[in-house]
Amino acid sequence: MRNGSTVTGRAPWARLLARLPALLVVLVALAPLVLPWLGNVDDQRLVDLDVYRTGGRELLEGRPVYDFMTPAPQLLPFTYPPIAAMLATPLAMMSWPVAQWVWTGLILLTLAVTVRYAFRPALERPALERPAFERQGGWRLPLLLALLTVACAYLMPIRDQFRFGQVDILLVALCLADCVAPRPPWPRGLLIGLATAVKLTPGVFLIYLLLTGFGPGARKEQRDAFLMATFTATLLTVLPFLVIPSDAADFWFGALLDPERLGANAATTNQSVRGMLIRLYLPDQLTSLLWLALVAVIAWYGFRHARRALLDGHPTTAVALVGLMAVLLSPVAWIHHLAWVVVVLGALAGDGRDPVRVRVAAGVWLYYVLPVPWWGVTIKAAEIPVLSPVVGKIVQNGFGLGALVLVWLLGVWLPRRRAALPGDAARLKA
């Protein structure tokens, strides 16, 4: 007899069994991506994680956080706000091997969370046939989530998360969840404030919340989120001045003002607008003027369309646009900062019923899987007249230029596509 207690007792095991195929898919598919980096020599694996741990260790041992360099050959300084060093102290308490596995697991977990929110319309489509879905053991949703997570893990910006042990996908997950989670148990804006305090660039979401929370068409929930995000970011910025005042002063009045601490700004890995301009090797003053002008135009265009996307009921599209602003407008944006591409793919794909949108999303996925900027370096090195200096330069800036195209796709093409095919029936006819 199937009484309530029996069903309740069996349900957790049934849910676990339904998720096992998905878990196996993730482990098998990502092993070739993750294990080589975890098995690399000490000074060539998860080098950014080493920076975080060393910052936390310097703090615990009472040494200046912004004076150290990681051991040769990396020689990397701590470049994050002091609250990040405080949050990194648990990593410093772990052994190096344990920290690597814990951090890699966290990257994978936050990637899955990002995929879950970004692709929510597509992932929840099986719920429309709930009885049939449940009769088959509920394995489809976890398996689809696993396949999408694996596909996104092979994007070059995400591969670099695993390679360097970077924090970017965690920040993406925080901002995305804060903006799109239905009825979150935390006050909306809290996670954006945390992300902004840790790495500054998510501060573009404060601009987004300000633009959508005040003025014509303003929404109270956006205004409340802006106030909470601002309060949280301010609190976590002021706190280090009370706990580690010398380190806080070193960062805000010294390290923050030195862009060279982040690495060679002209390097191929810097795909921001400023990075692309620097590689033109124009006079410094002209480069700065062009950068400021382009930043103003891109910011106006991107935030305008992000606001419109939210007002039209498409918050994931709005988040994707704002995330791209974080990359394009920043003075320095390495390839792994383009982890926002995961959100872009979810916004483009939608619920998966429009085959044109799915194909566009697949094309964007393939583009960011390929090492396009490094192809540009190879073309330039070939020293073929005309081809090498012109085509090579364009291809070298491929991910940054691609981000500009993505802003147009999300801001202009996608709304037109939605307007041309309203309703599920019209989408199925495409």
DSSP string, 284-306: HHHHHHHHHHHHHHHHHHHHHHH
Q: Copy the structure tokens of residue 133.
A: 């879905």
Instruction: Provide the residue count of the chain.
Output: 430
What percent of the chain clears pLDDT 90, i.e. is strictly above it? Answer: 72
pTM: 0.91
Residue 379, classed as helix, strand or coil, is: helix
Mean pLDDT, the chain, whole residue set: 88
The answer on pLDDT for 226 being more than 70 is yes
Question: Would the pLDDT of 60 be above 90?
Answer: yes
Mean pLDDT for the stretch of residues 127-146: 61
Q: Which long-range contacts (C-beta less than 8 Å, at least 24 apart) are formed by 214-217?
A: 217/307, 217/311
- Write down the pLDDT at residue 429: 38
User: Where does 266-354 have alpha helices with state H?
Assistant: 273-278, 284-311, 315-328, 341-349
Q: What is the dihedral of CA 377, 379, 383, 389, to 10 degrees?
A: -80
- pLDDT band, residue 235 (cuts 50/70/90): very high
Mean pLDDT of 124-136: 50
How much is the pLDDT for 416?
Answer: 93
Helical packing angle, 190-199 and 168-180, nearest 10°: 160
- The mean-pLDDT minimum among 257-271, 381-395, 409-423 falls in 257-271
* pLDDT recorded at residue 70: 83
Q: What's the rounded mean pLDDT across residues 53-69? A: 92
- Residue closest to 302 by CA, chosen among 196, 189, 205, 399: 205
Q: Which long-range contacts (CB under 8 A, 24 or more apart) does 324-328 make?
A: 324/403, 324/406, 324/407, 324/410, 325/204, 325/207, 325/298, 325/299, 326/201, 326/202, 326/204, 327/271, 327/272, 327/400, 327/403, 328/272, 328/273, 328/295, 328/298, 328/302, 328/400, 328/403, 328/404, 328/407
Task: Give residue 129's pLDDT band: very low, low, confident or very high (50, 70, 90).
Answer: very low
Question: What pLDDT is stored for residue 427 in this prediction?
Answer: 40
Which residue bears the tokens 């429009």? 354
Say what the pLDDT of residue 428 is.
35
From 69-73, 135-139, 174-178, 183-187, the region with the lowest mean pLDDT = 135-139
Closest CA to 379 of 391, 397, 367: 391
pLDDT band at 75 (very low <50, low <70, confident <90, very high): confident
Under 8 Å between Cβ of 78 and 250: no
pLDDT tens per residue across span 389-419: 889 899 999 999 999 999 999 999 999 999 8
Q: Which of 228, 224, 168 is nearest to 198 (CA)?
A: 168
Q: Give the Cα separation of 225 and 193 in Å (integer).
A: 9
Percent of the chain with pLDDT over 70: 90
